[in-house]
């Protein structure tokens, strides 16, 4: 993945985001053929980058596949227009862009498309259910289990927002299964559970814009979560104690 800065206003959003500064400095960002995780604090630009990759790959900015062409409220950044995806000879056979914050809109579009379909229902590809008739987490799992398939490109923006711990474990297992069937994932996440995917490339975006590959135990979200769970009382004492 490369950034083409020609005709770009580098003084404004999204080029001021840490992840974009890091991408500009590096010139390119290599994604794992299996799983790449983007981690970092709020505001680092993880979600913006995943969204831009989706736009550059031809997906609908609000989510869905390349065949979804709806817009509820255009809020995507211009970054996707400046990204160039460098692929190998094997193009993805299918794909999906999944973002927690706008999945309701995607579910509505699935419902509309299913009503407009004359020959066959679309719902079997989504678990056989109207997504609006399932909980947020259940419809996410239906999508991952039934719509995602081999040799696909799947871009996920903080999927854990809709999932319980059991749901995260189920998605982790499905990701592992699909990677062995030639699928590629790029995931922005804060979830230590998802980050444990075997052989995944974890790219940590720091506040200064640096992008570095880290081991699972070195990822900030993993280290901080582990430290809190090992001694929550100590963290709560510092967080909740009065300054008096």
Q: Which residues of 53-79 are buried (b: 16+ CB within 10 A; e: fewer)?
A: bbbbbebbbbbbbbebeeeeeeebbeb
Whether the pTM exceeds 0.75: the reply is yes
More confident residue, 131 or 244: 131
Question: Are the beta carbons of 13 and 77 closer than 8 angstroms?
Answer: yes
User: What number is the average pLDDT over the span 69-82?
Assistant: 70
Please report the pLDDT score of residue 76 as a whole number. Answer: 67
Domain boundary assignment for the chain:
2-102+148-240
Please report the pLDDT score of residue 184 as a whole number. Answer: 96
Please report the pLDDT score of residue 81 as a whole number. Answer: 86
Looking at the predicted structure, is the pLDDT value of residue 75 above 60?
no
134, exposed or middle or buried, with CB in 10 Å at 0-12, 13-18, 19+? Answer: middle
Question: Are the beta carbons of 38 and 17 closer than 8 angstroms?
Answer: no
pLDDT band at 222 (very low <50, low <70, confident <90, very high): very high
Looking at the predicted structure, is the pLDDT value of residue 37 above 80?
yes
Beta bridge partners of 212: 204
Q: What is the pLDDT of residues 132-191, one digit of tens each?
A: 656 667 888 888 998 899 999 999 999 998 899 999 999 999 999 999 999 999 999 999
Cα end-to-end span (Å), the chain: 51
Cα separation, 196 vs 24, whole angstroms: 28
Whether the CA torsion 138, 134, 107, 42 is positive or negative: it is negative
The dihedral over CA atoms of 104, 105, 107, 109, expressed in degrees to the nearest 10, equals 170
Report the mean per-residue pLDDT for the chain: 84
Looking at the predicted structure, is the pLDDT value of residue 9 above 50?
yes
Tokens of 161: 């927002």
More confident residue, 173 or 27: 173
pLDDT band at 119 (very low <50, low <70, confident <90, very high): very low
Q: Which range has the worst mean pLDDT, 15-24, 99-108, 166-175?
A: 99-108
Q: Which range has the worst mean pLDDT, 31-35, 81-85, 122-126?
A: 122-126
CATH number of the domain at 2-102+148-240, please? Answer: 3.40.50
Cα separation, 72 vs 28, whole angstroms: 32
Q: Which range has the worst mean pLDDT, 55-64, 101-110, 176-185?
A: 101-110
User: What number is the average pLDDT over the span 7-25?
Assistant: 85
Q: Which range has the worst mean pLDDT, 2-6, 115-119, 231-235?
A: 115-119
Cα separation, 63 vs 99, whole angstroms: 6
């Amino acid at each position: 993945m490369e950034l083409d800065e020609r005709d770009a206003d580098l003084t404004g959003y999204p080029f001021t985001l840490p992840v974009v500064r890091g991408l500009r400095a590096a010139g390119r960002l290599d994604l794992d053929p299996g799983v790449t995780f983007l981690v970092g604090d709020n505001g680092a630009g993880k979600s913006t980058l995943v969204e831009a990759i989706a736009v550059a790959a031809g997906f609908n900015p609000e989510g869905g596949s390349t065949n979804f062409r709806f817009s509820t409220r255009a809020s995507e950044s211009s970054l996707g227009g400046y990204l160039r995806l460098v692929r190998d000879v094997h193009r993805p056979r299918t794909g999906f862009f999944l973002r927690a914050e706008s999945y309701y809109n995607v579910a509505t579009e699935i419902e509309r498309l299913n009503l407009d379909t004359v020959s066959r229902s679309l719902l079997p590809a989504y678990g056989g259910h109207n997504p609006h008739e399932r909980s947020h987490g259940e419809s996410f799992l239906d999508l991952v289990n039934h719509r995602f398939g081999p040799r696909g490109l799947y871009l996920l923006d903080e999927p854990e927002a809709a999932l319980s711990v059991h749901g995260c474990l189920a998605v982790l297992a499905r990701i592992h299964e699909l990677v062995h069937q030639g699928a590629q994932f790029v995931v922005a996440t804060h979830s230590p559970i998802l980050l444990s995917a075997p052989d995944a490339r974890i790219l940590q975006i720091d506040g200064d814009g640096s992008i570095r590959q880290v081991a699972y135990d070195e990822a900030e979200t993993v280290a901080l979560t582990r430290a809190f769970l090992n001694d929550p009382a100590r963290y709560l004492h510092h967080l909740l104690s009065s300054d008096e």
